[in-house]
Amino acid sequence: MRIDLLTLFPEMCETVLSESIIGRARKKGAVQICCHQIRDFAYDKHNRVDDSPFGGGMGMLLKAEPIALCIDDLIDQLGEKPHLIYMSPQGKTLTQQRVKELAKYENIAFLCGHYEGIDERIIDEYIDEEISIGDYVLTGGELPALVVADSVCRMIDGVLSDDECFQEESHFNSLLEYPQYTRPAVWRGRKVPDELMTGHHQNVQKWRREQSLLRTAEKRPDMLKTAELTKKDKEFLTKLQNSAKNNEI
């Protein structure tokens, strides 16, 4: 897979994307990531990429043409249009489900806005999808694009090693992950649950599944509506509900 970021701050993005798991994945060729400087496509003598909005008002907007030239250059490089995402607080909020779907594209590109955002005509002309990382406003689209790029990269074959597998992680199957512990077995008087110390694989799996259900019921009950639950899961959750009711009485 190839991921491109169109931004006024390519160095900032490069720094983050060169570290740790994503940095290693890039080095071994599991994913290709390129950052492009929108300012390289400014066409006036001051290299300006922003201007004041028509109709007045606060702040500056990114002009259409430098962004358009940057996108066209990317399309020339790829030989086709990538799935082009504008990072925006007005977009659909990112979910793990959308991350899984995005990981199936050959080429995705993120356009990072800045200042008050971008000229609307770029959205009309080029953008396939707007994604928000939450209902709050940041100064630029770089951090949101890095969040999406990171979450998508983790889904690509060869990025995570087997022992970092994502399938049991929170949100993958609409459940939160079970609690985890490492050595020492007792830390400041707090013991690791006995179930994890027996070495009995089936008991460990059963305990983990139940803890996962328990956590989700406690912290994010809304997620249980879309989780795929077995008969045993449902029985366990009913028991939980009944014991909660009994405790209330």
Ligand X SMILES: C[S@@+](CC[C@H](N)C(=O)[O-])C[C@H]1O[C@@H](n2cnc3c(N)ncnc32)[C@H](O)[C@@H]1O
Residue of 21, 34, 78, 138 that binds ligand X (CB under 6 A): 138
- Looking at the Cβ atoms of 118 and 217, the one nearer to ligand X is 118
- Looking at the Cβ atoms of 71 and 87, the one nearer to ligand X is 87
Work out how close the CB of 94 gets to ligand X at its nearest, in angstroms, rounded to a whole number: 8
Cα separation, 189 vs 191, whole angstroms: 6
Residue of 87, 103, 109, 152 that binds ligand X (CB under 6 A): 87
Per CB under 6 A, 37 contacts ligand X: no
Per CB under 6 A, 136 contacts ligand X: yes
Judged by phi (left if over 0) then psi (alpha if -120 to 50, else beta), residue 189 lies in: left
Per CB under 6 A, 113 contacts ligand X: yes
Cα separation, 249 vs 247, whole angstroms: 6
Cα separation, 50 vs 44, whole angstroms: 11
* Tally of helices (H runs) and strands (E runs) in the chain: 8, 9
Per CB under 6 A, 174 contacts ligand X: no
Work out how close the CB of 72 gets to ligand X at its nearest, in angstroms, rounded to a whole number: 20
Packing angle between helix 142-153 and helix 20-27, nearest 10 degrees? 60
Residue of 4, 64, 89, 170 that binds ligand X (CB under 6 A): 89
Work out how close the CB of 5 gets to ligand X at its nearest, in angstroms, rounded to a whole number: 11
CB 148 within 8 A of CB 87: yes
Scanning 28-36, 67-75, 133-141, 211-219 for contacts with ligand X by CB under 6 A, the matching segment is 133-141
CB 94 within 8 A of CB 151: yes
Pairing mode of beta strands 32-37, 2-7 = parallel
# binding residues, ligand X (CB under 6 A): 20
Cα separation, 11 vs 39, whole angstroms: 13
**Bond into 184 cis (ω within 30):** yes
Residue of 37, 132, 173, 211 that binds ligand X (CB under 6 A): 132
Residue window 42-81: x/- pattern of binding to ligand X, with contact defined by CB under 6 A: ----------------------------------------
Per CB under 6 A, 117 contacts ligand X: yes
Residues of this chain that bind ligand X (CB under 6 A)? 87-90, 112-114, 116-118, 132-134, 136-141, 144
